[in-house]
Amino acid sequence: MNESGLAQQLLNLIGGKQNINQVWHCATRLRFTLKDRAKVPKDKIEALDGVITVVEASGQFQVVIGNNVGDVYHEVVKLEPSLSEGETSGETAAQGKMTFKSAFNSLLTFISGVFTPFLGAMAGAGILKGLLSLAVVMGWLTAKSGAYQIWWAAADGIFYFLPIALAFTAAKQLKVNQFVSMAIAAAMVSPGIVALGAKATTIDFFGIPVVPANYTATVLPILLVVVVQKFLEPVFNKLWHESVRNIMAPLCLLVVIVPLTLIVVGPISATVSSWLATAIVSLNKSVPILAGLVLGGFWQVIVIFGVHWALVPVMMNNIAQNGTDLMMPILLPAVLSQAGAALAVFLRTRDAKMKSLAGSSTITALFGITEPTIYGITLKLKKPFYLACVAGAVGGMIVAISGAGANAAALASVLSLPTFIGKGFGLSVVGDVVAFALGTVLTYFFGGINAGAKTKIAPSANSELGEALAAPVKGVLVPLTGLADEVFASETIGKGVAIVPENGMVKAPVAGVIRLLYPTGHAIGIQSDKGSEILIHIGIDTVNLKGKHFQPLVAQGQHVEIGTPLVQFDHEAIEKEGYESTVMMIVTNSDQYQIATLGQGATDDRPVMTLA
């Protein structure tokens, strides 16, 4: 299935934008926050071609796609433009009682939403920093050469101006003026303020002392600043008339928040940052084996539950405070051990599909993308995941003892190794090799990979019985491939027919259960009693009408017979709105059948398709 077809099926199964508060994506997952989780059939989504698995963690419904997740996300947004990254669709879900769990989930959602949009650029820049460090150590370049200085600017720019990038994404998450947030962040890293921090020069603001601090490459200060903006912005918006609000409200925010940041927010966050950095460094120095055991052994577990985002600011803060981070090198054995386990599955399994997936997952894991490996291979088979955690713990302890640190933030992968060059680098590489080799050996011999991994068994098509589909509406039968809508015309969702309606009553083409009913009434899904899965879609792009001119007559979960009225719609009014009213009937599991279309021309509620 291509990306557009997968996006359409995901939206159908999740319930459309009416059931989505928010959707965005990371390196491998589409991350949804939903209004009503109970409406979403997790098993059907997991069964979709192109979906590795579904994970529910940190208040998110996470659909693991793999490396082409960005393409699927863009197709989702193309189908539902209101679901742009980081934005909500319509009304948010009702807010329940605040609990520690809900507050923690909200924090993780916020942090992941802040870092995800530019994580790739930041990881690439971090790797470039490491490669430049390697080039200097090997004598290929000097720090004074023009090539080095230009590439260093490319590598260091996003870190130096990190508060500005964070301001933009944090403001988008909290729904405040993004450009005011960026202006505040730009003030924090402006040359004058940076010079004061470098010289430790104390100035005053109308007699109030301003403690000098360097905000370049920092994380916590700007996040706190945007939170403050979240509370102050509505106050200033109400204060000014709409004729001058767009100018005066930002003016007031800059006049108030920038001094407040440098006087209060900055020093407080700097203190907290220093404390966190000291705590992490102390743990690594005092009990390095314990730090290596915990991070190397349980990092992938932390990733599964989505709480790894809470540690990303800490690692970046360590680099800002101390120049190096001791956590990042310890995470690499956790990643490489999963790659080793996937390699063992590739070598041992006799299942062709699993072998193919394990081979590609080994490569992606080596480059730091472990979700396909975890959810498609190791966790699915259970024992390989546990054994990889053991291997990661052993490798993590060796790396922790080495004392190696990362001098730039980067995705933990073989490409991040140059960022670890320095103290303990050689021993840390030994730990990485041990983790990979031990993950491979343990899984190969003790991973329980006998005849191969279990695979999903497609439901029986019941072909000996056959099935006939009646016309869902009276009208003129036309080829599905001739429609203007590429998704339906390409038959990526499934084979079917299209009918230009003569009336406004859609009826059940088969006996079965209503599995999907859009609140807008423009689409309805039926699972027949014989196993076929049928999607009836009324009109093209009619989701934009938001239910206008549609009246659903059945409920989700209801059993219907052939001819049961499903949806009443006004096809003439729909056409006056500028939309096609053509009714499509698609067999979404058509790959299980031999399908024939019966006749041409007008229909009269008679069979129009047969499945065998």
What does 218-244 look like in DSSP terms, one character per residue? -SHHHHHHHHHHHHHHHHHHHHS-TTT
Residue type, 459: P
DSSP label at 67? T
Q: Report the distance separating Cα 472 and Cα 328, nearest Å.
A: 58
Helix (H) or strand (E) holding 325: none
Q: Report the distance separating Cα 571 and Cα 506, nearest Å.
A: 11
Q: What Rg value do the Cα atoms of the chain yield, rounded?
A: 28
Q: Report the distance separating Cα 237 and Cα 253, nearest Å.
A: 10
- Which residue is catalytic, options 26, 252, 308, 389? 26
Measured CA to CA in angstroms, residue 5 lies from 75, 78, 79, 193, 490 at distances of 9, 12, 11, 51, 9
Q: Is 26 a catalytic residue?
A: yes
- Which residue is catalytic, options 25, 308, 522, 537? 537
Of 31, 216, 229, 14, the closest CA to residue 112 belongs to 31
Q: Report the distance separating Cα 163 and Cα 186, nearest Å.
A: 8
Q: Is 207 left (phi over 0), alpha (psi -120 to 50) or beta?
A: left
At 275, is the secondary structure helix, strand, or coil? helix
Angle at 389 between CA 114 and CA 281, to 5 degrees: 55
Q: Is 74 a catalytic residue?
A: no
End-to-end alpha carbon distance in the chain: 22
DSSP label at 273? H
Please, are residues 250 and 198 in contact by the beta-carbon 8 Å criterion? no
DSSP label at 82? T
Active site residues: 26, 537
